[in-house]
Structure 1
Amino acid sequence: MGESLALDVERISKEALRTMAAGPAAGASGLDRERVVSVLNDVVATEVVGWLRYTRHAITARRIDRPEVSELFDLRAEQAMRHATAVAERITRLGGRPAFDPDTLAQRAHTDYSVADDPAIRQMLEQNVQASEIAVAAYREITRWLGDRDGDSRRLMESLVADELQYGRALGALLTG
């Protein structure tokens, strides 16, 4: 798990840096709104792909009679959709268009939708811990990039980081408990 995590974090870091590479453009907030919208649309994709993975894992956990795990995955799926909606609303307030195109969601997401045909609970928990760690790394990078130039988007990203950290701790407790 550790080796693939390093590769995934490297990929998301490179993608985030590539998207934000041009730096701030002149404007009222000091950021290029189109670039902010693009970065936030990648967050929407990450959350929607997460919703799909968490929903699938919740259903699988119910099938193998692990209600405490399925409940956590259900809660996280609901949270991921709330995150996607909140970020999409922020994009709209910035004058952009939220990108929910199913054909591009997986390519734009920081995490992936990888589920085994018949995963074990431990494997599902590990996949979601890894996805949470990747999201935290990507979202922290975005938060730093936004800085004080777009306080509303930064605060939104900070709240997503806090939720991801809380979720990661809950998953970790199930893994060690």
Structure 2
Amino acid sequence: MADKRPFLTDIQTLRKRARSHIMEGAVTPGYKADRATVVKLLNEALATEIVCVLRYKRHYFMASGINADAVAQEFLQHANEEQQHADQIAARIVQLGGEPNFNPEGLLTRSHAEYVEGESLVEMIKEDLVAERIAIDSYREIIDYLGNDDPTTRRMMEGILAMEEEHADDLVGLLAEMDK
């Protein structure tokens, strides 16, 4: 027996809903997630990305040794990509009616990743790899939490997760090259 409900809400109802609470922008009555929780999670992800940018930038400038040039370029590329992630996350927070928290005070307590400088090139790579692995697990949990309640944020986080997985793979490759 087929369901007789229409696939879409009737046009008049959609139009009426679109006009109510118009200043909420992209957040319509169909938004199912807890906005405050999503903004909190995104601000933690934002802090994580900022800490990663700062750590990668330090590693870029501090890289030295026989393999330093190639590794430093990888650090710089990762720093730039992490900055893009931070910008995406901040923009989504604003779309959801929140405020991105760029306050340096408490940055490390909001971040899932740590800021560990590392003394040698190998230590730097390992610390960056640990941070990527932390981001991978925490972003996967955020994606699971969002489910179908906020598909836009979920897709954004899935894209960021894919890049974090690439970063981890790049860093494992660098470690393998260092062992040769």
For 2:135, give the aligned amino acid: A
What is the aligned partner in structure 2 of residue 146 from structure 1? 146
Query: Is 1:165 matched up with 2:165?
Result: yes
Amino acid at match of 2:62: T
Within 2, Cα distance between the matches of 1:149 and 1:162? 21
Equivalent residue of 1:103, what SS? coil
Compute the RMSD of aligned alpha carbons.
1.1
TM-score (norm 1): 0.81
Code of the residue aligned with 2:78 in structure 1: it is: R
- AA aligned opposite 1:82: Q
The TM-score with structure 2 as length reference comes to 0.80
More helix by share: 1
User: Once the two structures are aligned, what percentage of the paired residues are identical?
Assistant: 36
**TM superposition shift of 1:64:** 3.6
Q: Deviations over 1:96-151 (max 9, x none)?
A: 000000002111000011114xx111111111111101100000000000011101
The aligned counterpart of 2:131 is 131
Larger-gyration structure (1/2):
2
**Secondary structure in 2 aligned to 1:122?**
helix
CA shift for structure 1 position 164: 0.5
Using the alignment, how far apart are the partners of 2:169 and 2:42 within structure 1?
25
Structure 1 gap ranges (5+):
1-26
Q: Which runs of 4+ in 1 moved over 6 A?
A: none
CA distance in 1, matches of 2:166, 2:70: 16
State the partner residue of 2:11.
none
Counterparts of residues 9-158 of structure 1 (less than 5 Å):
28-61=30-63, 63-64=64-65, 66-116=68-118, 119-158=119-158
Q: Distance in 1 between matches of 2:131 and 2:89?
A: 18
Q: In structure 2, how many angstroms separate the alpha carbons of the residues matched to 1:33 and 1:128?
A: 31
Aligned pair count reads 148
Q: Runs of 5+ in structure 2 lacking a partner?
A: 1-28
